[in-house]
Amino acid sequence: MPEGDTVWRAARQLDRALSGRVLTRTDVRVPAYATWDLAGATVVETVSRGKHLLTRIDADHPWTLHTHLKMEGSWRILEPGQRWPRPAHTARVVLETADALAVGFQLGIVEFLPREKESEVVGHLGPDLLGPDWDPDEAAHRLREQPARRVKEALLDQTRLAGIGNMYADELCFIAGVAPETPVGQVPDLARLVRRAHQMLDLNRHRAVQSTTGDLRRGRTFWVYGRAGRPCRRCGTPIVESVLGEPGRERVTVRCPSCQPIR
């Protein structure tokens, strides 16, 4: 699932391409909205909220197009007439202006809602790591509300803080020197972990390549993520892989057994 910085960049791309422009054609390939035609409406802006995208459109009513990439989704900005980079049957939303075409492929969520009801789909989220409401103290407080919960699961819970996915959760646990299974209440410096989470996403939102090591070279970008069986960059111990999470919400998890011992 895309991380919060990936979604932030998608919002910026949509905002630059569409904001202030009049839609000349729309095609929403979801049964509930198949007959909707927003041609003539004006796109106000696109913002991200955690992993959610909110595209605000002024038509007969102030609408918000709420989309979520889930596991496979993406938005692509093209020129009108340009060949699509993915099969047409995977497109869920097409928004066209005089000089730009935005196509949402394999989007996990597509829905329109009155703008005043945006809180119904994002109001449950915790502080957004890349949002104007970012509050590290509130994020740490929300994590501490469940001291017995495993720290990786807590970091992935978007109601605690919004924007962390599986990759960042594994990397943050490694950098903090704690096993992903460690209860939140036993994490030595939770406030520092929260600050590092913000720092990671904030740096990576401006990069073409995500990196938690600071090294952008191919194969050198992560400490443990995607490196099961390979030597730890710090101590040389082979990285181990397991599955963590409640049934139906399991996540592949990696850690260094020496740098992140289970206590």
Catalytic residue among 9, 51, 56, 152: 51
Same domain, 176 and 96: no
Span 10-31, pLDDT tens digits: 999 999 999 999 999 999 999 9
Return the pLDDT at 263: 81
**Catalytic residue flag (residue 251):** yes
Final residue before a domain boundary, out of 74, 99, 122: 122
Same domain, 70 and 151: no
Final residue before a domain boundary, out of 97, 122, 147: 122
Same domain, 33 and 141: no
Question: What is the domain range of residue 148?
Answer: 136-255
Q: What CATH number corresponds to the domain at position 100?
A: 3.20.190.10
**Catalytic residue flag (residue 3):** yes
- Phi, psi for residue 236 in degrees, rounded to 5: 90, -5
User: How many domains does the structure of the chain reveal?
Assistant: 2
Return the pLDDT at 204: 96
- Considering the domain boundaries, does residue 261 fall inside one? no
- Considering the domain boundaries, does residue 192 fall inside one? yes
Strand bridging mode 109-114 / 251-255: unpaired
Return the pLDDT at 248: 80
**Catalytic residue flag (residue 241):** no
Final residue before a domain boundary, out of 70, 100, 122: 122
pTM above 0.85, yes or no: yes
Q: How many whole angstroms separate alpha carbon 104 and alpha carbon 158?
A: 23
pLDDT beyond 80 at 1: no
- Considering the domain boundaries, does residue 235 fall inside one? yes
Same domain, 239 and 184: yes
**Catalytic residue flag (residue 116):** no
Catalytic residue among 21, 76, 233, 251: 251
